[in-house]
Amino acid sequence: MASSTLVSGSAEIAMATEFEIDSQTDEMLETSMELRVADVEGLSEKPKTFGQLARERFFGHKLAIVGVIGLILLVALFWLGPMLSEWEFDERNVADRLLGPSSEHWFGTDEIGRDLFVRTARGGLYSMRIGLIAAVVATVTGTAFGAFAGFFGGVWDGIVSNLVNLVLTVPAIIVLSVFANKFGASAVGLALVLAGLLWTRIARVVRGVVLSIKEQEYIMAARAAGASNSRIMFRHLLPNIVGAIAVEVTLLLGTVIVLESTLSFLGLGVKPPNASLGTLVADAKGDIDSDPIRVLTPGIFIILIVLCVNFLGDGLRDALDPRAKGSDSSEAKNAKKAAKKARKQSGKQGPGYIAEARTDRTSIGKI
């Protein structure tokens, strides 16, 4: 009787143990299935294109957004400002000379009674126009020379490199003074003079990028497939250096505006009746003690334009070059979040938690 009771008790204990093991097995299998479903869902997500990732990085760059908004506001002010004023750009009124800021003349008047707000808006637009033309011409020229030298190499690379070094050794301020005094009466003439010295910067950047890209496997495959040099250049190389070029264009635009303002301040740039921000500073330098606002106003606009352009350039660099310092791609951020979540989940499950979905009844039985 005692032995039968003992056997019955052992059977009940065995059944309870087996039931408990089955329950644990079901829980582990359910967890494993959830992990597998999550993995499949993650793999099924459509990968983002380079353009989508670049947009995310750019719009996540706060200073770049500030730069874009700032440039839009400045262009709107320079373009629409004169339309909102009753005064003309070169309208003179000697009776209102050297007035301070007022509701009638927002920035005051100059020594011959011209409205400084209208002249500042006109000068800002003129400076930005010169900067844009010079940046575009320098970019096209520099890209052509740099891509040609980097792609063909050899003698051509040596010729272009020596030409670039020659231009860089020329005293820029002397050359700009001579040519700007002769051709700088118009915006196009001054822009071409500035572009003639600044294209070397783009050429060096493009040459370096092309040298690093042309040895890539897809370029070698295109060569092996019989693609012509022109097809490789325009189909494979140039699209891959657009990012570097876009960054350099924005930075070059700020440089051109500063140089133009410097030349105009020295009297070698924009000629009357036209005006730029540099000429406005030059016109007011004699009254800096009695009327500092006349000097500060165009100077502040020069600083704002250059800052906004540089902010835009920084944002483009981080967006188009994920390897740049300070840029963090969306893939890296998602990987960090996933790793952090996995660490938290593994900590909740305890030391017996099996991260890999390899659990089955046999392994559970062994545990």
DSSP letter for each residue of 232-250: IIIIIIGGGSHHHHHHHHH
Whole-number Å distance between alpha carbons of 115 and 129: 21
Task: Tell me the CA end-to-end span of the chain in Å, nearest whole number.
Answer: 35
CB 194 within 8 A of CB 130: yes
Q: Give every CB contact of residue 159 below 8 A, 6+ residues apart in sequence.
A: 149
CB under 8 Å, gap of 24 or more: what pairs does 168-171 form?
168/200, 170/197
What residues are paired with 115 via a beta bridge? Answer: 109
Q: pTM for this structure?
A: 0.70
The pLDDT, as a whole number, for residue 45 is 58
3-state SS, residue 100 = coil
Average pLDDT by stretches of 10, the chain with 367 residues = 47 49 52 50 60 80 91 92 79 75 78 84 90 92 91 88 87 76 73 88 89 83 82 81 84 88 80 82 79 85 92 85 49 50 52 43 41
CB 297 within 8 A of CB 116: yes
Whole-number Å distance between alpha carbons of 50 and 319: 10
The pLDDT, as a whole number, for residue 99 is 76
The pLDDT, as a whole number, for residue 243 is 79
Cβ neighbours, 10 Å, residue 65:
15
CB 276 within 8 A of CB 123: yes
Domains in the chain (CATH in brackets) are 61-327 (1.10.3720.10), 328-367 (no CATH)
Whole-number Å distance between alpha carbons of 271 and 42: 63
